[in-house]
Homo-oligomer: A and B are copies of this chain.
């Protein structure tokens, strides 16, 4: 049986390590086409790891097309075209030419995967919405954290109110007032460990009996979360002005969850007229609310000309959500929502028994980080950085060999844009081909809910990539043209 060492695996998880080892052997040809992989159970026993670890590694290889499975028979190595092997070889050569970069990032980098033992390759991830670690202001954060702990132990040991410590809620309000023109009272702010957790609180607050709706196409995870909470979740189509009023009015939606400032993935900005139509829709029934998910507002590339729903909502119908997981780091789990005053009161009444899910240490650290201006500085720096990254990426494509075969929806966008390809490949083939070359991509069709309800995936091909570049690095930009060349066929 194949065997690998699990000592000295750095910061990789066991499953990542196993995945890399297997993939490496597949690409290098040590594991050959149609070779049968060991059974999960015996492999786990042999390696001294858990069955789940093996299962996770197999699942990822399967998803990426390196192996295939035959029910009741097991897992087998997929055919790897020679062109792909050669490309890995080339990349490996490039790789050797910049060993300092390699040392810095080996096996570590989020969104990219470096194989070990001098063998290939670097993979770029154009589908991830994660941000890149090098840009997090570590030293400032560490200092704020240290100061927080030194300053006031008793405050840190006093349990946070359900909605978060006052200092952080006040800091968020001052920030929103100064930089977004939003007038919000700290009592309306609810702090939680990530927006995913806040959605769960919202369902408890607004009711399991309500009918929720998200945008179609949209952010797949939202659909999964509502499904997982066992509430009904509809999908409403988009038109060029935002979410379709016609479909919305025809539906039985109570709570509409949208991204009006910058729709994911199309980049559509909901027009002002549509915003008022949406508010009127919400005002027409006591059961109705709008969740304004402002997930990447900090990085919008141009000035805002259209007011937020939250700012023009006079009826107390809009719940505003935002997160520091995107603007600071996806590994810091702090998000917030702003409830209209009536709902804020109801929140304390119905859900006031909950403990806040964010530690007081982190809450006070972030409060200081905002109050002392570091958050603003960070946002400004990152906005410039992302703007340049986007510009170079788009220029590189426009000056590249397939410029005439691609069409970029060049939004004044957050951290993603759409790229339409002239290709005979289906969307599924696009994903598979890219993956075989070492790239993770997301197609527009994967963002659709099929038939309105039964899971994601459009039935017709979109030939369109959703390019998320927040986790990319500048030296990965040149790789894009090679990928596009392969895909435009």
Q: Is the CB of A159 within 8 A of B110?
A: yes
Is A362 in the interface zone, CB < 8 Å from B? yes
A205: nearest chain-B partner, CB-CB: B228
Write out the residue numbers on chain B whose beta carbons fall within 8 Å of the beta carbon of A325.
355
Whether the Cβ atoms of A130 and B110 lie closer than 8 Å is: no
| Chain B CB within 8 A of A408 CB | no
Shortest A138–chain B CB gap in Å is: 5
CB distance from A385 to the nearest CB of B (A): 16
Q: Which residues of B contact A225 (CB under 8 A)?
A: 353-354
Q: How distant is A9 from chain B, measured CB to nearest CB, in Å?
A: 9
Q: Which residues of B contact A186 (CB under 8 A)?
A: 50
**Size of A's binding interface in residues, CB under 8 A:** 76
Q: Are B110 and A331 in contact, CB atoms less than 8 angstroms apart?
A: no
Cβ–Cβ < 8 Å partners of A358 in chain B: 193, 333
Q: Does A176 contact B (CB under 8 A)?
A: no
Residue in B51, B229, B333, B361 whose CB lies within 8 Å of A193:
B333
Decide: B208 and A345 in contact? CB cutoff 8 A: no
> Which of chain B's residues have a CB closer than 8 A to the CB of A142?
146, 149-150
Kindly state whether residue A399 has any CB partner on chain B within 8 Å. Answer: no
In Å, the complex CA distance between A142 and B132 comes to 26
Tell me the minimal C-beta distance from A367 to chain B in angstroms. Answer: 12
A348 at the interface (CB under 8 A from B): yes
With a cutoff of 8 Å between Cβ atoms, the chain B residues found around residue A333 in the complex are: 193, 355-359
A204 surroundings in chain B (CB, below 8 A): 228-230
> Given known contacts A204-B229, A355-B333, A357-B333, is B130 in contact with A159 (CB within 8 Å)?
yes
Per-residue interface assignment for chain A, residues 87 to 117, with 1 indicating a CB less than 8 Å from any chain B CB and 0 otherwise: 0000000000000000001001110000000
Q: Cβ of A185 < 8 Å from any Cβ of B?
A: yes
Assess whether A344 is interfacial by the CB under 8 Å rule. yes
Q: Is A121 in the interface zone, CB < 8 Å from B?
A: no
| With A13-B161, A159-B110, A159-B130 as contacts: A52 and B344 at CB distance below 8 Å | yes
A472–chain B nearest beta-carbon distance, Å: 15
Closest to A152 in B: B11
B-contacting residues, A126-157, CB 8 Å: 130, 132-133, 136, 138, 141-142, 145-146, 149-150, 152-157
Copies of this chain, complex-wide, total 2
Does chain B have a CB within 8 A of A160?
Answer: yes
- Complex CA gap A357/B333 in Å reads 6
What 1/0 mask marks residues of chain A from 463 to 476 whose CB sits below 8 Å from any chain B CB?
Answer: 00000000000000
Whether A455 is near chain B, meaning CB under 8 Å from some CB there, is no
In the complex, per-residue mask of A192-227: 1 if CB is within 8 Å of any chain B CB, else 0: 011011001000100010000000000001001100
Interface of A is mostly: helix
CA of A188 to CA of B138, assembled, Å: 32
Given the known interface contacts A149-B142, A157-B133, A187-B53, the answer about A196 and B362 at a Cβ–Cβ threshold of 8 Å is no
Whether the pair A157, B329 counts as a contact (CB closer than 8 A) is yes
A193 in contact with B149 given A133-B157, A331-B156 (CB within 8 Å): no
Residue contact A228 to B350, C-beta cutoff 8 Å: yes
The residue that A133 contacts in the complex, of B136, B158, B355, with Cβ under 8 A, is: B158
- Nearest CB in chain B: distance from A66 CB, A: 19
**Is A166 an interface residue when CB atoms closer than 8 A count as contact?**
yes
Say how far A52's CB is from chain B's closest CB, in angstroms. Answer: 4
A359 → B minimal CB distance (Å): 5
Q: With an 8 A cutoff between CB atoms, is A119 at the interface?
A: no
Q: Give the most central of A14, A132, A229, A361: most B CB within 10 Å.
A: A361
Interface centre among A158, A188, A221, A230 (most CB of B within 10 A): A158
Cα distance A354–B351 in the bound complex, in angstroms: 22
Measured between beta carbons, the chain B residues less than 8 angstroms from A196 are: 354-355, 357
- A345→B157 CA distance, assembly (Å): 36
Do the beta carbons of A357 and B193 come within 8 Å of each other?
yes
> What are 10 A-B pairs at a CB distance below 8 A?
A52-B344, A130-B159, A133-B156, A138-B149, A142-B146, A193-B197, A194-B357, A228-B350, A333-B356, A333-B358
A11-B154, A52-B185, A357-B357 given; 20 more Cβ-contact pairs under 8 Å: A13-B165, A50-B341, A52-B345, A53-B187, A55-B345, A55-B348, A132-B157, A133-B153, A133-B158, A136-B153, A142-B149, A145-B146, A157-B330, A193-B358, A196-B357, A325-B355, A330-B355, A332-B359, A333-B356, A361-B362
